[in-house]
Structure 1
Amino acid sequence: MTVKETLNDGLKRGYEITVTAADLDGAVNDKLKEAQPEIEMKGFRKGKVPMALLKKQFGPRVLGEAMQEAVDGAMNKHLEESGDRPAMQPEMKMANEDWKEGDDVVVNVSYEKLPEIPEVDFSGIALEKLVVKADDAAVDEALGSLAETAQNFEDRKKGSKAKDGDQVIFDFLGKVDGEAFEGGAAEGHALVLGSGQFIPGFEEGLVGVKAGDETDVTVTFPEDYNAEHLAGKEAVFECKIHNVKEPKAAEIDDEMAKQFGAEDLAGLKGQISERLEEEYAGAARAVTKRALLDELDKAVSFELPPSLVDAEAGQIAHQLWHEENPDVQGHDHPEIEPTDEHKKLAERRVKLGLLLAEVGQKAEVQVTDAEFTQAVMNQARQYGNQARQFFEFVQQNQQMQQQIRAPLFEDKVVDHIVEGAKVTEKEVSKDDLQKAVEALEEE
């Protein structure tokens, strides 16, 4: 077996792997001898089937296995000795396509190797960390929002008309073609207009009603309504209005604080202050991370594997196209050609991705099982009642696991680099932080 270099151009490598017919024949014989004691065949005792017969019966299949193992073995040995790390799966192609048993096997292998990543002196990187304190105004604003969520409803003045956001207490009876239908009636039902609890058009039909009114609301059930016998049908709801109530924000006091799990108002303010500063810290971290990546992008330069850049540019172009065409859910669309802008962004992403991976490997950065599980649980919560199915899907899907681990790994590497950089804190206002975050989104 021989491995001969055929291409050495930048990161591109090419090799010709030759496996002689004698080597293959020897490998086939070794495999058959290993299996012979367990083989049974009519007319022979177990383990006594002649080698010639075994070779005739099983030789072609075993030959294919031996060829694959020989080529893979030669490739793995080459990578181990050379230290090359292919950027993508190496391309393998038979050189002698008219191969027949008894011929040598010649395979052409090509790949792009990952580049050597230069060392970076993190102590030479200067970063600014924005710090925002939760002031009284921000806490009061958050308290006001909480008071609105804890709102009560009070009767409007007699004769007042219902507005969007008001609560209407009423009886209703729904009919289709003059016949009442199951589930279409209730007494003393409380409905907040504009909440979207009823089918489209119903709540709008109650805007302007007064206590004591009796009115009919005509609506059409959606075509995709979950009750098939009602889907697409016109219905008339006979409504009797008992009360019209206006929303009143809860009083900001100890009683309201207890509704949110605090002992008193001071305790609730403390919880809000902590939560706000956690949010500010998260936003500030994103700003610092972008600044760090910008510095790393300027600090290092090395040759990039074209295959990785092309793949990343294609992915960027494809993603942006779907964002601009949200109505197209599948991939039945014209071919999307990456632009120079896409390629420029891809080069940055590939360079920084390779750099962070190298730094993380040398620093032995690891994502713990506990960190991974917590990240999965955080994502699973977004799926509500289907959280368990999502969790099980992740457990069975290696690609999904990698998609979750990758950003966790990147963040830990970023933290590692920041620890070695020169970081100065700068206290700013919430508005200044907001502007810094918005600037990230515009880039």
Structure 2
Amino acid sequence: MQVSVEKKEGIHCILNVEIPASEVDQEVSKRIKKIAKTARVDGFRPGKVPAGVIKKKYGEQVRFEVLGDVLPAKYAKAIEDEKLNAAGVEVEIVQNEEGKELKFNVDVELFPEIAIEKLDTIEVKKPVVELGEKEHEKMIANLRKQLATWNEVDREVKEEDKVTIDFVGRVDGEVFEGGSADASEVTIGSGQMIPGFEEGIVGMKKDQEKTITVTFPEDYQNEELKGKEAEFDIIVKDIKEASLPEIDAEFVEKFGIKGGEEEFYTEIKQNMARELKAATQRKVKSQVFDGLVKAIEVEVPKALVKREIDRAKNDLLKRMGGANAKLKAEDIPDNIFEEKAKHDVKLGLIINAIVDQQKFEADEASIDAMIEEMASVYEDADEVRTHVKKDKKEFDNIKAVVIENKLVDWVCDQAKVEDEKEDFFDLIRNTMPQQPMM
């Protein structure tokens, strides 16, 4: 096999490969003879069909199969010999004739070499959150609402009421998909609907009809509705107000706390502290990752983007019912996932480059601390510790998070980090995954 580098430019390298004719022709002949032993052809007894007849009938197919076996091994060897870090390959056959050298070109898409720079341009707002008695009392009030009983009332809708409504939404005068519902329950002030929607219901009475105008947020998950003004025709079917339970032994027991009211208050404070730490880490990490993608130039291999798109399609199909779903991956357009796939691939390449260059590792002390933090939430902490350490997938996930956290701290040491005051409940809500409006 002869290999020559035609050109190497950016993340592309084109190899010209030649394989002696004998390597392919001999394998084709070998397979033709094997087929001849069992082939059935009109006019010939089984096993007595001349090789020439078999070759004429099956030769093209056999040669195609041989190339399917030979080419991957040959171009993999060529890539290895040239010491190329391949992300993907495209093969073009230049010459494929019996008795002549097999010639093909391999367009090798390489993993990019990444220069980690401009980290000082990354801006991070680090949440500074007050977590005191006021926040603790609000959390307890929220928990009481979770166990509230709802009683129908005959009055105007107020904040914190639960209403049942029918609504129809229109954009540019046209009813849009997903913008209508019957008998939908909405808790006023919960933020479950887009801004302005719940506020528009306040003051309405049972059986009253009203049209409100609201604007979809610029960061709304549906691209077609971002920033669009919409009208909603609303009918209130019923209005209910909450009757909150007292904080007693029965109430505490419903949250799985056995130590009584004092233990309940202690647990609330500890849980909120854990949530605050996790939410702060999520927000800082998100800003760091977005900042890395914006600051660092990377030529992203198309092969990796395609793999990420295919993975996203398969994940979507699984959520839709897996093998029972009528939709197939090839029916879903790539462009739906392309922008996010490019972002995620670029981020992954940057993270891997930083980890390799800085040699970040998950040290035993950090791993143990994270496992301990996880286990402390559970009643049988020892069982959780043992399980996590034995489960390779979970243990590897913890190691990955430890390394990510070290990377985030390292970037923050070089980035522009400023403290920003934030409400505890806003921080928790804004750092959780977005849910569709309806």
Q: TM-score, normalization: structure 2?
A: 0.50
> 1:195 corresponds to which residue?
164
> 2:66 corresponds to which residue?
66
Deviations 1:110-145 (A, max 9, x none): 23311345699x9xxxx9986867422211101112
Q: What amino acid maps onto 1:417 in structure 2?
A: L
Contact 1:356 1:413 (C-alpha < 8 Å) held by counterparts: no
Q: Distance in 2 between matches of 1:262 and 1:437?
A: 25
Determine which of 407, 423, 432 is the counterpart of 1:431: 423
> 1:355 corresponds to which residue?
350
Paired residues for 1:4-15 under 5 Å: 4-15=4-15
Segments of structure 1 that go 5 or more residues without pairing to the other structure are: 167-191, 210-216, 220-243, 316-330, 366-405
Deviations 1:348-397 (A, max 9, x none): 865542132356688798xxxxxxxxxxxxxxxxxxxxxxxxxxxxxxxx
Structure 1 439/44 Cα, relative in aligned 2: closer, same or farther at 3 Å?
closer
Deviations 1:137-156 (A, max 9, x none): 21110111222333346798
> 2:133 corresponds to which residue?
136
Q: What amino acid maps onto 1:140 in structure 2?
A: E
Residue 271 of structure 2 is aligned to residue 272 of structure 1: no
> 2:277 corresponds to which residue?
281
Q: What amino acid maps onto 2:148 in structure 1?
A: Q
Contact 2:360 2:407 (C-alpha < 8 Å) held by counterparts: no
Segments of structure 2 that go 5 or more residues without pairing to the other structure are: 167-180, 187-200, 210-238, 311-330, 363-395, 434-438
Deviations 1:37-95 (A, max 9, x none): 9635465566x7654454344322111122233322221101222232333x3222233
> 1:105 corresponds to which residue?
102
How far the C-alpha of 1:2 sits from its partner, in A, is: 2.4
Q: Secondary structure at the match of 2:251?
A: helix
Q: Percent identity?
A: 19
Q: Distance in 2 between matches of 1:307 and 1:75?
A: 19
Q: What amino acid maps onto 1:110 in structure 2?
A: D
Q: Secondary structure at the match of 2:256?
A: coil
How far the C-alpha of 1:283 sits from its partner, in A, is: 1.4
Q: What amino acid maps onto 2:12 in structure 1?
A: K
Q: What amino acid maps onto 1:95 in structure 2?
A: V
Of structures 1 and 2, the larger Rg is shown by: 1
> 1:248 corresponds to which residue?
243
Structure 1 149/72 Cα, relative in aligned 2: closer, same or farther at 3 Å?
closer
Q: Distance in 2 between matches of 1:301 and 1:307?
A: 18
Structure 1 41/64 Cα, relative in aligned 2: closer, same or farther at 3 Å?
same
Q: Distance in 1 between matches of 2:288 and 2:152?
A: 57
Determine which of 252, 269, 273 is the counterpart of 1:257: 252
Structure 1 257/348 Cα, relative in aligned 2: closer, same or farther at 3 Å?
closer
Q: Distance in 1 between matches of 2:428 and 2:208?
A: 50
Deviations 1:309-344 (A, max 9, x none): 9989x99xxxxxxxxxxxxxxx999x99x9xxx8xx
Q: TM-score, normalization: structure 1?
A: 0.50
Structure 1 79/139 Cα, relative in aligned 2: closer, same or farther at 3 Å?
same
CA RMSD across the alignment: 5.8
> 1:86 corresponds to which residue?
86
How far the C-alpha of 1:419 sits from its partner, in A, is: 8.0
Contact 2:293 2:343 (C-alpha < 8 Å) held by counterparts: yes
Contact 2:128 2:422 (C-alpha < 8 Å) held by counterparts: no
Deviations 1:246-283 (A, max 9, x none): 64322234443234333422222233223322221221
Q: What amino acid maps onto 1:266 in structure 2?
A: E
Q: Secondary structure at the match of 2:84?
A: coil
Q: Distance in 1 between matches of 2:150 and 2:290?
A: 52
Paired residues for 1:338-417 under 5 Å: 351-358=346-353, 411=401, 413-415=403-405, 417=407
